[in-house]
Amino acid sequence: MKKTVKKEALIALIENLMKDHEVVSPVETAGKGVFYRKIDKAKDVYLGPAFAVEPVKKFFLHPSEWICGCNKEEGTASPCPVPADDKKRVIFGVRPCEARGLVLLDKIFAPDDPAGYQDTSYIDNRSRSVIVGLACSVPDRTCFCVSLDGSPVETRGMDAVLFDMGDNFIVEILTEKGKSILGSLPGTIDAGSEKALEAAKEKTKKLVVKTVKAPDSLDASFKSDYWKKVSLSCLSCGVCTYLCPTCHCFDLVEEERKKLRCYDGCAFPDFTLETSGENPRPTKKERYRQRVFHKFDYFKKNFGENLCVGCGRCIRFCPVKIDISEVAAGAPIK
């Protein structure tokens, strides 16, 4: 169901939603970029073309999350429940690549098979959230979603989506959850606007010019010196993994009787460092190879898809501009 909605009407709806929902949206921070924030003023909502630095992932897999703990009592160690956050939440402005990232994360943390590992915290975060996407209108030159089975105007993983048509948004409601939030917006759509929307979608798709030709399997390259060569410039920081909409490796740390699940990244030297001192991935070569294999090989073997949505963040923000699309495409597989 689609309707043409005035931008002011959407802001008024958000204002109203904040009464009984947590509302999250991209917010522009002067000189720093765009960041997702819990908002308390509807006018802070940023639905312009700039991409958020951090993907929406952090609202589902928290950068550091309290997963269990125990009370401090003399001579005892009684388990202490983790406070649950079950407030209904609406997240605006989620881009197609980020929403698709959630669909991929679902396969790990909330698989369809009930016998599979079900991550309670992730599932709670998913079920209390309504995702109102925002189709892209100005892809970045580092975006390459189209060649990874994605599109700047697709809607997988969203409950509703907004298309920016200048003065108005065209709102498309995709699920019951989406309807519960945006169903009350007045408006219809005429044939002319439908046509304009289709034309705009086609135009935007063509603006994604970067491509990646990742091989079906990287197996044959595993032992190649290629990985040493391409990882020489890697600085071993966490930018690519932390800002990736699909990277989900974590580490467990204990602090003040709490066990925390914190983001980890394969680029860090102590990633997979074992207590014995042994590290099966001792150099940048093995660690960088791990990232590329996880994205373009291992996940595909397990789930039939690449674990990369082509959002371009790891390229945009890499301090030394390593380009994973070039690296994956150039892997020697013969």
Q: Which residues contact another protein by CB under 8 A?
A: 29, 31-33, 35, 53-54, 63-64, 141-142, 229, 232-233, 235-239, 242-243, 251, 253, 255, 260, 262-263, 265, 268, 270, 317, 319-323, 325-326
Residue 69 and residue 81: Cα distance in Å, rounded?
A: 7
Q: How far is the CB of 255 from another protein (least distance, A)?
A: 6
Amino acid (one-letter) located at 323: D
Decide whether 268 or 298 has the Cβ nearer to another protein: 268
Nearer to another protein, 57 or 177 (CB): 57
What's the min distance (Å) between Cβ of 151 and another protein?
22
For residue 227, what are its two tokens?
């990985």
Q: Are 210 and 142 in contact (CB under 8 A)?
A: yes
In sequence order, what are the residues at sequence separation of 6 or more whose Cβ sits closer than 8 angstroms to the Cβ of residue 16?
Answer: none
Tell me whether residue 72 or residue 195 sits nearer to another protein (CB atom): 72
Closest CB 311 distance from another protein, rounded Å: 13
> How far apart are CB 232 and another protein at their closest, in Å?
5
Q: How far apart are CA 271 and CA 278, in angstroms?
A: 11
- Rounded least distance, CB 65 to another protein, Å: 9
Smallest gap from Cβ 204 to another protein, in A, equals 20
Give the residue with the Cβ less far from another protein, 251 or 305.
Answer: 251
187 vs 238, which CB is nearer to another protein? 238
Burial call 52-69: b when 16+ CB within 10 Å, e when fewer: bbbbbbbbbbbeebeeeb
Q: Which is nearer to another protein, 6 or 258 (CB)?
A: 258
E strand spans, the chain: 2-6, 22-29, 33-38, 64-70, 79-80, 89-94, 129-134, 160-164, 168-173, 250-255, 258-263
DSSP percent split of the chain into helix, strand, coil, nearest 5: 35, 20, 45
